[in-house]
Amino acid sequence: MSLSTSDNSHYRSSPGSKLVSQIDQLQLIAQKDRSIDVPTSVRDFVAASVADNSRRAYTADLRRFSSHGGALPSDSTAVAVYLAQHADTHSISTLRRWMASLSKAHIAAGYPDPTKMEPAKSTLRGICRNRGEAVHNAAPLLRDDIFAVLDEIGSGIRDVRDRALLLIGFAGGFRRSELVGLDVSDIVFVRRGLVINLRRSKTDQAGIGREIGIPLGKTRHCPVSALEDWLRVASIESGAVFRPVDRHSHVGAGRLSGEAVSVIVKERVAAVGIDPGRYSGHSLRAGFCTSAAQAGVSSWKIRQQTGHASDAMLARYIRSAELFDGNAAGAVL
């Protein structure tokens, strides 16, 4: 059945239809209004306003909505029905992502956002309440754990790459997309370590960029030395820093994918007897945040490294780090 009360005539005649070309350029709705003539410069700027990964996610989510009878614009009831139809088959995080994609599409096209209206809002809240689903975040790969992993890594070229990737990912508190997006030109080795120019990130879609310092390590596992070793043995002088290595130890010219980072983390923790099912590429970032909080580093210094927008975003890591500090049970047992 159709999920929307909006028909095509309304879509074509709506005052907001002239803005649907934006959706087209964002690749959010592939079928809509391709005939609209928009200057190339406008198309390029609009396309650049959303990161590639986000654009692909919006595309997939909206095509799915369309395949289930959805349309743009949609009303809140249609969105609520869509959520209810999938409440038992998809995770709450997936439902939230679908809502975010629908919201972005409507706002970009100049339409009212149905996800912020009733009954869509109440429907999602009800699904969350009924399922009582806890958020399952990636387990943090803590300092002692990553040291245990590094102690078991060999000396082959893939081992050298993985050592550098794990240490730089951890020390920089990087998202996996930031880690695999690094180019040699983004890195400057200095007396006290290295400086990384992060050109773009999830919270910096405008591409303003920021600098991150990675200091020389004080332990046997130095991220700066590990990166120097990788660039040297792989003979990488320009382009992507972290690259695929085939079974013949040949280093590829392209860059690793974000998924590859997760695979590497899982393989390396499994090698030391840690359950890999709880870990992913995000475990490096989570592990840095939690380990830094355990070491007594202030939240603003952690955010300076990770780029988190607020202390609220760090709260779950800090709570995890403080679970046993002054624990009431510890005082009585």
List the catalytic residues.
175, 202, 282, 285, 308, 317
Asked if 25 and 39 count as a contact pair (C-beta separation under 8 A), the reply is: no
Please tell me the number of Cα atoms within 13 Å of 257 on its side-chain side: 4
Which DSSP symbol is given to 115? G
Q: Report the DSSP beta bridge partners of residue 189.
A: 194
First to last CA, the chain: 60
- 303-312: list long-range contacts, CB under 8 Å, 24+ apart: 305/172, 305/173, 305/212, 305/213, 306/173, 307/173, 307/198, 307/201, 307/203, 307/204, 307/210, 308/203, 309/203
Query: CA 331, CA 333: separation in Å to the nearest integer?
Result: 6
Q: Tell me which residue has tokens 């007396």.
A: 191
